[in-house]
Structure 1
């Protein structure tokens, strides 16, 4: 910081402190970077306390898809058909909570492709989980 002479008043020199443009630019850039870091990190932490992403685990290999009927992280009702081609299938980007019904089908389109209905099961997905944002739901409990 320096002072800029502004003139005299009653024989006394008046000086006003000045801030260099480079210092202001650096401060603005630093603030913008900090804000971006906070906003970028907020999504996962917020969702992790209001819902969980799920992994459907089918070790029988009989289930081709699962219709998930539940609530999202905001409490709104949601339905999603998830093809389950693997023993463990992740559904990323969807956040679930509370009472969750899993309707099981033999085809990959929740019955739209002519698959057989294998029954359903009800699970509870905690809204908050401190060690992970993922909840495993085992669907080997097939009822034929």
Structure 2
């Protein structure tokens, strides 16, 4: 391997074309980072406006997926190495507890804007939760 030559994966059909010849197909695992990574600020909260700390947040883009966790204030900042907020195709939030996870497809994000994600509490779905049993097994 020469230090000044790019790495190439040689398929048998084009390997004889010579060094430096680009592959005829793109590598779906290849992530081309941006010169200046995009940034996405997200606030995760419940319906009452209370912050949701410790939630995992994923931004699924066209170039790569970014992941982080919310802090005690429910705030998170994602560094988008191969995307901009405009190219994010989905946002997925998985809270540590007490709330349902949420996936937002095609969130239509703008550069520099902060996104607020409101989660539904489990107690809104199940009356009396968590004090009341949801399921009882008789034995």
More strand per residue: 1
TM-score range, shorter chain: 0.3 to 0.5
Greater C-alpha radius of gyration: 1
Give the TM-score of the pair, scaled to structure 2.
0.42
More helix per residue: 1
